[in-house]
């Protein structure tokens, strides 16, 4: 057994699981998805109610990786989150002793299943978007070098279609050849996550639909058996596709569709603002039609790790993996650009209301990319703050879930700032604290211009602003 340290596997952990011969599941990468996945797998039960798996979360021995490892081993989720069920599941797994975290790659020696949750970033170059597979290839080669014959690798990472076939399988086959094993000694499958951080974090894994595919039929069968033990397949049946490339395409197309429909609503938001229409009431009426029930709406902007890059992975796949760079993805590419520029629409409305931003002070409420989540990756707030400062404004930021905004280096005070001396307040994220805010009491004698940039405020809150004589505006709503 591996010696104890903050980044290696403690010798007294998982002992019970070893004695009762529970399968070992490793989760490679302990970010927002990997940490939640590790907890979800550790919470899985056999028919008799006993734990189905022993789970080892594995991350790199970097500062960030060590922080994640130490947090999980201390029974804390590595990021601020609001799902009490996920928090309870982590506590229970640590008390049972069937979940630990480590940076020691020897953990893979014991893995019956490894779930890959390694990030894969898109790089914007002059000739188009590209993906650097270097770190991803190394992570996969490590699995091929260590995992036992007959084990299963499930790629959850969102990847360009064709990655499992053209990157993962060859890397594992090369590593297996060096061990004297056949190329199919380790099964390979793809099953993408639909994790939604927030109050339904855990449910977005265990009570949600899954698509999957295998590199071979045996791999697909093994993936189905595993997922059926973790996910509530009675209510959320699995869907098997005919190839890993099809499964990879499903994730990219799913997010491209969502990003594109969000971008579409932006031009209608500008129309509504210009002609005096409340677009949210219009959308609400349209959503009563079942075929349009998931219609999107305008807002402050699109952020997070998925919708900001996934629509570009089709072009990456065509160019880097299949050698057909002439295939064009105009709608997907345009959607990314439109969504990236979305926060500037709020800034333009603010600029018009204040007759210029030079010398003004703006209070921005919400810097994460969505409500009740602490994730600031690719947050539209960053675009807004940079652009506002370029136009001469001083921007004060607050977020009830964020104390340190890593991308900007800003420290955020936990208390809601006073509106005194502020020229404008922008409600950018519909955090519960803002939705429940008594505006008249909070404003006191202050009368800043208030912009609801993301349908944060209720009709009652907007009326309260009018009652105290506060000028206000809303993205997607005309005067």
Could you tell me which residues come within 8 angstroms of residue 23 by beta carbon, excluding any fewer than 6 positions away?
52, 53, 54, 112, 113
Same domain, 233 and 262: no
Helix axes of 380-390 and 330-354: crossing angle, nearest 10 degrees: 50
Average pLDDT rounded to a whole number, residues 273-294: 96
Tally the residues of the chain: 479
Strand partners, 426: 364, 451
Q: Is residue 235 part of a domain?
A: yes
Q: How remote is the C-alpha of 339 from its chain's centroid?
A: 16
Looking at the structure, tell me whether residues 294 and 374 fall in a common domain.
yes
Task: Count the domains in the chain.
Answer: 2
- 252, part of any domain: no
Residue 186 has pLDDT above 60, yes or no: yes
Q: Write down the pLDDT at residue 2.
A: 33
Residue 3 has pLDDT above 80, yes or no: no
Same domain for 263 and 236, yes or no, is: no
pLDDT score of 127? 84
In angstroms, rounded to a whole number, what is the distance separating the alpha carbons of residues 294 and 277?
A: 20
Query: Does residue 6 have a pLDDT over 70?
Result: no
Give residue 383's pLDDT: 97
Cβ contact 457:396 at 8 Å: no
Mean pLDDT confidence for 271-281: 96
Which H or E run includes 410?
strand 410-411
pLDDT bin (cut points 50, 70, 90) of residue 16 is very low
* Claim to verify: residue 120 and residue 193 sit in the same structural domain: yes
pLDDT digits (tens, 9 = 90+) for 164-176: 999 999 999 999 9
Report the pLDDT averaged over residues 265-286. Answer: 96
pLDDT averaged over every residue in the chain: 94
Instruction: Name the residue with tokens 């602003």.
Output: 465
The closest of 217, 246, 226, 203 to 27, measured between CA atoms, is 226
Q: Do 98 and 167 lie in a common domain? A: yes
Q: Are residues 327 and 445 in the same domain?
A: yes
| Residue 353 vs residue 126, higher pLDDT | 353
Q: Is the pLDDT of residue 87 over 70?
A: yes
Beta bridge partners of 414: none
Average pLDDT over residues 384-410: 96
pLDDT band at 394 (very low <50, low <70, confident <90, very high): very high
Please tell me the predicted confidence (pLDDT) of residue 176: 98
Q: Is residue 56 part of a domain?
A: yes
Residue finishing a domain among 214, 241, 268: 241
- The pLDDT assigned to 125 comes to 87
Give the pLDDT confidence score for residue 232 in this predicted structure. 98
* 204 and 166 fall within a common domain: yes
Q: Per the domain annotation, does 251 fall within a domain?
A: no
Do 204 and 140 share a structural domain? yes
Q: Is residue 3 part of a domain?
A: no
Q: Which of 192, 213, 241 is the last residue of a domain?
A: 241
- Residue 80's domain comprises 15-241
Residue 71 phi/psi, 5-degree rounding, is -65, -50
In a domain, 22, yes or no: yes
What pLDDT, on the 0 to 100 scale, is given for residue 13? 53
The percent of residues above 90 in pLDDT, for the chain, comes to: 92
Phi, psi of 361, rounded to the nearest 5 degrees: -120, 125
In a shared domain, residues 105 and 130: yes
* Residue 108 CA from chain centroid, whole number: 25
Question: Does pLDDT of 29 surpass 50?
Answer: yes
pLDDT of residue 8: 53
Is residue 123 one of the residues assigned to a domain? yes
Q: What is the pLDDT of residues 34-46, one digit of tens each?
A: 999 999 999 999 9
Under 8 Å between Cβ of 23 and 54? yes
404: β partners: 411
Query: At 100, which CATH number?
Result: 3.40.50.720
DSSP state, 147?
S
Of 241, 274, 295, the domain-final residue: 241
Give dist(CA 155, CA 159) in Å, integer: 9
Same domain as 225, residue 263 = no
Assess whether 192 and 314 both reside in one domain. Answer: no
Residues 343, 224: one domain? no
Cite the DSSP H helix spans in 355-451: 380-390, 432-435, 439-443
pLDDT value of residue 126: 84
Q: Does 4 map to a domain?
A: no
């Amino acid at each position: 057994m591996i010696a104890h340290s903050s980044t290696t596997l403690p010798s007294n952990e998982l002992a019970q699981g070893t004695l009762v011969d529970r399968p070992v599941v490793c989760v490679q990468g302990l970010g927002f998805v990997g940490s939640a996945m590790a907890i979800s797998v550790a919470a899985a039960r056999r028919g008799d109610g006993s734990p189905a798996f022993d789970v080892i979360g594995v991350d790199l021995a970097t500062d960030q990786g060590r922080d994640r490892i130490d947090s999980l081993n201390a029974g804390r989720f590595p990021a601020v989150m609001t799902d009490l069920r996920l928090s309870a599941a982590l506590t229970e797994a640590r008390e049972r002793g069937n979940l630990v975290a480590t940076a020691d790659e020897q953990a893979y020696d014991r893995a019956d299943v490894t779930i890959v949750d390694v990030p894969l970033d898109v790089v914007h170059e002059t000739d188009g978007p590209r993906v650097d597979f270097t770190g991803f290839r190394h992570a996969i080669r490590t699995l091929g070098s260590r995992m036992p014959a007959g084990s299963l690798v499930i790629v959850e990472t969102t990847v360009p279609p064709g990655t499992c076939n053209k990157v993962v399988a060859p890397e594992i086959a090369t590593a297996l050849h060096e061990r004297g094993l056949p190329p199919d000694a380790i099964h390979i499958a793809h099953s993408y996550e639909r994790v939604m951080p927030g109050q339904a974090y855990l449910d977005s894994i265990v009570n949600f639909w899954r698509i999957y595919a295998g590199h071979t039929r045996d791999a697909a069968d093994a993936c189905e058996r595993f997922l059926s033990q973790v996910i509530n397949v009675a209510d959320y049946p699995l869907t098997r596709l005919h190839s890993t490339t099809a499964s990879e395409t499903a994730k990219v197309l799913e997010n491209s569709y969502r990003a594109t429909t969000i971008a579409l609503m932006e031009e209608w938001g500008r129309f509504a603002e210009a002609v005096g229409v409340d677009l949210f009431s219009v959308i609400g009426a349209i959503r009563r039609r079942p075929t349009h029930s998931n219609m999107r709406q305008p807002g402050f902007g699109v952020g997070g790790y998925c919708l900001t890059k996934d629509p570009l992975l089709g072009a990456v796949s065509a160019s880097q993996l299949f050698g057909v760079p002439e295939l064009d993805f105009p709608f997907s590419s345009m959607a990314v650009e439109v969504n990236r520029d979305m926060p500037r629409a709020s800034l333009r409305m603010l600029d018009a209301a204040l007759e210029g931003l030079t010398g003004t002070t703006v209070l921005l409420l919400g810097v994460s990319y969505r409500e009740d989540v602490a994730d600031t990756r690719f947050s539209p707030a960053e675009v807004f703050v940079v652009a506002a400062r370029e136009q001469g404004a001083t921007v004060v930021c607050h977020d009830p879930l964020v104390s340190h905004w890593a991308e900007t280096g800003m420290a955020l005070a936990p208390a809601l700032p006073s509106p005194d001396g502020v020229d404008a307040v922008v409600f950018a994220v519909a955090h519960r604290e803002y939705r429940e805010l008594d505006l008249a009491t909070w404003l006191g004698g202050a009368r800043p211009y208030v912009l609801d940039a993301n349908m944060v405020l209720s009709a009652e809150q907007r009326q309260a602003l009018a009652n105290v004589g506060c000028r206000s505006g809303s993205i997607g709503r005309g005067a």
